[in-house]
Amino acid sequence: MEYIVTKKNQKIDNFLKKTKKELDAFFGFEVREPAVLLLTSRKQLDSLWERKTEKWEVGGTRTLKGTQNGIIFILSPEVYCRQSTHKDPKVFWKTLKHEYCHIYFQQITGSSRPIWFNEGLASYMAGQKKSGGNPMDVFDYFDIGGEGVYQVGYFWVNFLVENFGEKKIKQLANALRTNNALSSKSFSYIFFRIYGFKFNYKSLKAILDKGLKLQSG
């Protein structure tokens, strides 16, 4: 195993400070600034995930159970494009913000469920616009992920914000605090309490067909 060397990086420190302010305000509670581990090769990412990672995967998040101590690991800006399918070095910063957002979600839910919401919210907050995919696949992504979860998750978070406002999305995120692992049934219940319509195929389809503001970008 190679050594993972962490160096002081002022640009990253500044970015984390700025992002902390924004995310603390959005979620309405504070989370301690995470440590960032800059990886210099895909091999390091593979050993952290304990599997062969896909070329589009560039990082991840861990939180020490029961604490606020989060770690973000991410391919360093120097190798970010070379070691992944991403072409634009600016994407690094969006990914860093995306991962940072997961730490808040982890603090709220104690998990990453619903995965579509976790990924959608992180992508939305990081300004990672996604298009394509079938929004109605959202029910497949409660406790499994995959490449398609980002499009579907982004679609619904963006859709809900565009049509019902950002306040309700914050409420939904914060209402996911539970003592037990969140089930899809309890998620539906919480969703209904906030939005006033059911989180099921029939009702989401009807909402889409009503021609509410649809996001295409």
List residues near Zn ion by CB under 5 A. Answer: 119, 122
Q: Which is nearer to Zn ion, 111 or 203 (CB)?
A: 111
Q: Which is nearer to Zn ion, 16 or 122 (CB)?
A: 122
Bridge partners of 35, per DSSP, are 71
Question: How far apart are CB 188 and Zn ion at their closest, in Å?
Answer: 23
10 Å CB burial of residue 198 (0-12, 13-18, 19+) is middle
CB of 157 to Zn ion, least distance (A): 12
Between 103 and 119, whose beta carbon lies closer to Zn ion? Answer: 119
Minimum distance, C-beta of residue 122 to Zn ion, in the bound complex (Å): 5
Residue in 120, 83, 92 with CA at minimum distance from that of residue 105: 120
Nearer to Zn ion, 122 or 195 (CB): 122
Do 95 and 126 touch, CB atoms closer than 8 A?
yes
* Angle, CA 54 vertex, CA 34 and CA 101 arms, to 5°: 25
Least distance in angstroms from the C-beta of 60 to Zn ion = 8
Output the CA angle 52-54-57, nearest 5 degrees. 115
In the chain, how many H helices and how many E strands?
8, 3
